[in-house]
Structure 1
Amino acid sequence: SNKQHAKSFSIKVNFTIDQERKNALLNGLDEIGVTLSNQATIAKFEQRHQQQFPWLFQGLN
C-alpha cells in the first residue's frame, strides 16, 4: 500500500509514498543505486540501440 503513517509519541502523520521510492528506501538505494540495479536492462537497451543506429556509434569503438 502507498498509504503510510509515522508516529512519534502522540503525533501521527499520514502520508503516501510511491511504491518504487518505498522499495528504494527499504533497500537503502539512492538514485544511482536504483540505476545500477537495472544494469542488465540498460546494457540490453544499449546493445539494441547500437544495432538499430550504428551510424551514431561510428568512431566510438
Structure 2
Amino acid sequence: MENRIKSARIAAGLTQSEMSKRFEIPLDTIKKWDSGACKPPEWAATLLLEKLQEVKK
C-alpha cells in the first residue's frame, strides 16, 4: 500500500521534524506513519494531505 502521507510530505519538501513542528504532531507519530507501523484515521489523513498540498503551493 502506498504511503500517501510520506509521499505528500516529501513532495512538499518537509522533513519529518519540519512536519512535526508545522502541524504540531509528535515526531514519533510521523516516524510510525512513515515506516508503516501505524496510520492515522482516514479523516485525519485526508486533512493532512490537504494541508500538505497547500505547503507545496
TM-score, normalised relative to structure 2: 0.36
Indicate the structure (1 or 2) with the bigger Cα radius of gyration: 1
Q: Which has the higher strand share?
A: 1
Q: Which of structures 1 and 2 has the larger relative contact order (alpha carbons within 8 angstroms, sep 6+)?
A: 2
TM-score, normalised relative to structure 1: 0.34
